[in-house]
Amino acid sequence: MVNMRLIFLGTSAAVPTSKRGLSSIALLRGNELLLFDAGEGMQQNFIKAGIGMNKKMKIFITHMHADHCVGLLGLLQTMSLQGRERILDIYGPLRLPEFLKENMRIMNFGLTFNINVHLINNEGIIIKENDYQVSCCNAYHSIPSYSYCLTEFERPGIFSIEEAKHLGIPEGKLYHELQHGQDITYEGKIIKSNQIMGPARPGRKVGISGDTRPTSRLQHFFKDCDVLVFESTYSYEKYHKALESFHSTATEAAQLAKAAGVKKLVLTHFSPRYEETTHLVQEAKTIHKNVEAAEDLKIADIHYREKQK
């Protein structure tokens, strides 16, 4: 089992407030950090959260608006000042390398570690690790923008020690082979792995919308997410403002989450006009029952699904 949690480092839209910084979400999975966006000043909450500057890390930028990417410069410089040595992978839109190169040249700072910048120009899988993958989907915003999903692969079913003992199988190598899906021959009998192993157990799926209007494509992309973090810049009474600025309302976020079969919806990226977000949550809850509002430094643990397939 791998622990997974979200830490919200910035939850305001466009400009910070006294209680909310600009967009940034940390997804901690085991000993790895996946960071989604880096709005200006996010590193203060990054430090407060005790995440650590030298972790195994991947950074994903949704789009090249200042409130989602300007903080990347300060974060990289702070990592260097603290002596980071690990290679860092950064994923994002086509103008990301130009943004990094020109700003680092103008500010005249180098890095103590290597970075690999991976350009995204197509939808689909962008990372495939041993036990999870990260995919992207075109968002619908005023400039090119991407939404992301982390999807864990299925875990093996539960090993039945009782059944193994009933069949007289000795502990050790044969247990290991059965646990890894291999059929074995013991005392002249073929014993199939599925006689001992329960059904495969689903992994977890986490979606990050970035800035976007809701679309049918995103509804499909976020299907069956355990947790979906979706922007909720406005209440529904500001629908026309959301439409004009290519953002979403709390109602629209909930409608998409419900249609996609999302287990939990977390609203974020709130307009600074809202000093508190209770009414936005209540608005969304009239459509989707499991809704929370993100707050700076709020932690959300993501558990495995109890029900097996």
Q: Is 276 helix (H, G, I), strand (E, B) or coil?
A: coil
DSSP letter (8 states) at residue 244: H
Q: Is 92 helix (H, G, I), strand (E, B) or coil?
A: strand
Quote the crossing angle between the two packed helices 96-107 and 71-81, to the nearest 10°.
Answer: 60
Residue 10 CB partners (closer than 8 Å, separation 6+): 16, 20, 21, 22, 23, 24, 25, 37, 39, 41, 42, 45, 71, 296
Closest CA to 199 of 239, 148, 162, 154: 154
DSSP letter (8 states) at residue 236: G
Closest CA to 193 of 242, 166, 158: 158
Check: CB of residue 120 under 8 Å from CB of residue 147: no
- Determine how many CB atoms are found less than 10 A away from the CB of residue 274: 21
Q: How far apart are CA 292 and CA 146, in angstroms?
A: 23
Catalytic residue list contains 226 = no
Check: CB of residue 22 under 8 Å from CB of residue 42: yes
DSSP letters for 61-118: -----HHHHTHHHHHHHHHHHTT--S-EEEEE-TTHHHHHHHHHHHHT---SS-EEEE
Could you tell me the two tokens for 178? 């059965």
**Which one from 37, 67, 211, 226 is the annotated catalytic residue?**
67
Could you tell me the two tokens for 56? 């195994």
**Which of the residues are catalytic?**
67
